[in-house]
Structure 1
Amino acid sequence: MPRQPSRRRSYDQYCAAARALDAVGDRWTLLIVRELLAGPRRYTDLHADLPGVSTDVLASRLKDMERDELATRRRLPPPSPAYVYELTDRGRELMPVLRALSGWGASVLDGPRPTDAVRAHWFAIPLLRALDGVAGEGVIGIALDEGEFHVRIGPDGPSYGDGPAPAPDARLRMDAPTCLAVGRGEVSVGEGVRTGRIELSGTGPLGAELAQLD
C-alpha cells in the first residue's frame, strides 16, 4: 500500500506565532535547521551531528520540512550516489530565529554536562553576533579543540559552514569557553587577540580588521 502522508499537527490558532510553531515547533526541527544552515548535508551526516535523535524521527522531521517547503532533497552529481538535504530560501529565513534563540540561551550555557555532546560548529551561531560589525568580506576559519568551522562575511551578513575552509582569509584559534564568551559579548575579538586568548593568523585586510574589532 502507498504510504499515507503524515497528518499536519496544528495549534489551530489564527496567530502568526502559532502558524510558525506548526512548522518548526516539533522537537528536533530547529536543530535540523541549525545543521542545514551550515550547508547541504547527507542524512548520515545529519544523524551523526544530532546525537539522540532516532532514525525514524529524523526521517519524519525531514519529510515534514520538505512538505512545508523548508528543505529540499537533491542527488549529488556523479560519481557520488548520495542525496543531500538543503534549506530552501524560506528555510534560510530561520537564521534570525536561531540567532535569537542562541543569544537567549547563551546566558545560561555554563560548562558542558557529563551527558552533553559537543560539536565545534554549534558555537558558530552565537559567534556571529560578534562578527556583525565586520566591514570587510571574506572567510574566517575558526579552530577550537573540539574541531573547526568557518564563517563567511558577505554583503548579506555573516553565515557559517562546518569544517575547515580551504583557503581562509583569516584564522582564529581559541578554546570553547573563549568562543562562548565572545559570542556573549563578554570579550571582543580584538581584546581576545591582544590578551592572548585568541590566536589570529592572516595578514590581509580581514585579519587586520579582526585584530581591532571591539
Structure 2
Amino acid sequence: MSPRRSYDQFCSAARALDLVGDRWTLLIVRELLAGPRRYTDLHADLPGVSTDVLASRLKDMERDGLTTRRRLPPPAAAYVYELTGRGRELLPVLQSLGAWGAPALAERRPTDAVRAHWFALPLLRCLAGEGEGIVQVRLDEGEFHLRIGEGEGPVYGDGSSVEEPDARLALDAETCTALDQGSLTLRQAIQDGRIEVSGEGRLAKALRDN
C-alpha cells in the first residue's frame, strides 16, 4: 500500500483529515454504521465510486484502525467490512456534518441518487432523547430501521428489523429533508400528520404524545 498522504500539520483537525478527508471515506463510514457489509453491498450503495477507489479506501481505513475485515462462516463464506470502536466514534461527526450540509438540500437534482437509509442519520438525530428502542421507518424509496439509545453496535439497518419494532413511522423524503434542515420539528410533523406513528410500544406512545 502506498504511504498515506498527510497535511504535515501539528493540529488535531489536520490529523483527522489525514484519516478521513479523502473522497468517499466518510460515506463508507455512513454505510458501515449499519453494521457489517460486503464489498458488493458497499459498492451498490455508493453510486459513483469506482471499484479501484473503493478497494483503496477500505485498505486505508483498515490500516488506520477505522475498519476491520472478517470472513463470515459457511454457508455465507464471504468477507465483510465493519467499523472498529474508533470508526464508530465518527457517528456524531457525520451527524454534525449532515446538519451543517442540510441547507444545501434545496431540491433533488435529476442526477442525484437516493437510498432510503441515507435519511437514517438525520432521523436518528431528530429522535434523540425520545426514548429507547427500535424504530421501523417507511418511505416511498424503501424501508430501514433505527436503534435509538441502545449503546454500541449498528445504529441503523436497511430493510425491516428482525426484531419487533417499538414504533413504526411512515413519512416521505420531503418531510425527512425538512426535519434535517430544521424547518420542521418532529412534534410539528407528527401533529400535522406528515409522520404517521403506529405501534403499541412505549416509544410509539411517547411519540404520539409528543
Please tell me the TM-score bracket, short chain as reference: over 0.9
Tell me if structure 1 keeps the 8 A contact 2:133–2:150: no
Following TM superposition, by how much is the alpha carbon of 1:125 offset from its aligned partner in structure 2, in angstroms?
A: 1.2
Tell me if structure 2 keeps the 8 A contact 1:173–1:198: yes
Alignment of 1:152-167 (within 5 A): 152-156=147-151, 159-166=155-162, 167=164
Alignment of 1:48-127 (within 5 A): 48-127=44-123
Residue matched to 2:200: 203
What TM-score comes out, normalization by structure 2 length?
Answer: 0.94
1:140 and 2:132 aligned: no
The root-mean-square deviation of aligned C-alpha atoms, in Å, is 1.5
Looking at structure 1, the residues matched to 143 and 113 of structure 2 have their Cα atoms a distance apart, in angstroms, of 16
Runs of 4+, deviation exceeding 3 Å? 155-158
Following TM superposition, by how much is the alpha carbon of 1:191 offset from its aligned partner in structure 2, in angstroms?
A: 2.5
Q: Which of 13, 17, 21 is 1:21 aligned to?
A: 17
What TM-score comes out, normalization by structure 1 length?
Answer: 0.92
Residue identity in the other structure for 2:140: D
1:171 and 2:197 aligned: no
Looking at structure 2, the residues matched to 111 and 146 of structure 1 have their Cα atoms a distance apart, in angstroms, of 16
Following TM superposition, by how much is the alpha carbon of 1:84 offset from its aligned partner in structure 2, in angstroms?
A: 0.5
Mean CA deviation greater in 94-103 or 177-186: 177-186
Tell me if structure 2 keeps the 8 A contact 1:119–1:146: yes
Residue identity in the other structure for 2:16: A
Looking at structure 1, the residues matched to 146 and 172 of structure 2 have their Cα atoms a distance apart, in angstroms, of 17
Q: Percent identity?
A: 69
Looking at structure 2, the residues matched to 210 and 50 of structure 1 have their Cα atoms a distance apart, in angstroms, of 32
Looking at structure 1, the residues matched to 206 and 2 of structure 2 have their Cα atoms a distance apart, in angstroms, of 50
1:128 and 2:109 aligned: no
Residue identity in the other structure for 1:140: V
Following TM superposition, by how much is the alpha carbon of 1:133 offset from its aligned partner in structure 2, in angstroms?
A: 1.8
| Cα deviation code 1:122-160 (max 9, x no counterpart) | 1111112211121x3210001110111111112549932
